Structure 1
């Protein structure tokens, strides 16, 4: 019979959301480089469970444009999330 190790090999982490695609973090990232077209910067969405990323360049950062991004890239592909985490602005 082998001895049971008392400490895990790697540090354990807490899972914030145990369901895939139920909790997303969304942020508007500032302009990274000088783009050839008039883009304000990308919008980035990260699923808390799978760490999957959705990134789309944005020409405008109005609420309507963010709403359209969530509808097209998250709701239609993964279902309506239970929680969306955001810092409420660029």
Structure 2
């Protein structure tokens, strides 16, 4: 009985004309162009919390170059905006130079005034991924699959 009602509603032209979709329309995709050289596009994300180390570190900030696939892992005690910006500057930008673009999720440690000011000062483009969609920053997420397994051992 239920299936026959569903079939009737789906085949009825008048019913279809007056039924409106309750789903939110999907937005347009904004693909990120692939990098053409090293240090063009860097993906960043936090991993953790892990058990506290002797240096009081609980988190790992992972930076992945999308062209060379090289990974820089920075242990940090907290994942605050100030600590994140300082670690990116001291441990990555001072060593390799400012990238052309950085892609990250919309976590509070990345989406803040301090990171915006850093991007303006150093001249890189900060791209924010779609919330709750880790595939947008897939290279960094893939790094965690290997990385977490190594730390757990």
Alignment check: 8 A CA contact 2:63 2:73 kept: yes
The aligned runs of 1:1-90 (5 Å cut-off) are 16-32=34-50, 34-37=51-54, 38-89=56-107
Across the aligned residues of Structure 1 and Structure 2, the Cα RMSD in angstroms comes to 1.8
CA separation in 2, counterparts of 1:17 and 1:67?
23
TM-score with structure 1 length normalisation? 0.72
TM-score (norm 2): 0.45
Structure exhibiting the larger radius of gyration computed from Cα positions: 2
Compare relative contact order (CA 8 Å, sep 6+) and give the higher one, 1 or 2. Answer: 1
- Name the structure where strand makes up a greater proportion of residues: 1
Structure 2 stretches of 5 or more lacking a match? Answer: 1-32, 110-153
CA offsets, 1:40-84, max 9 Å, x none?
311100001101111011101111111111111221111111110
Question: Please, which runs of 5 or more residues in structure 1 have no aligned partner?
Answer: 1-14
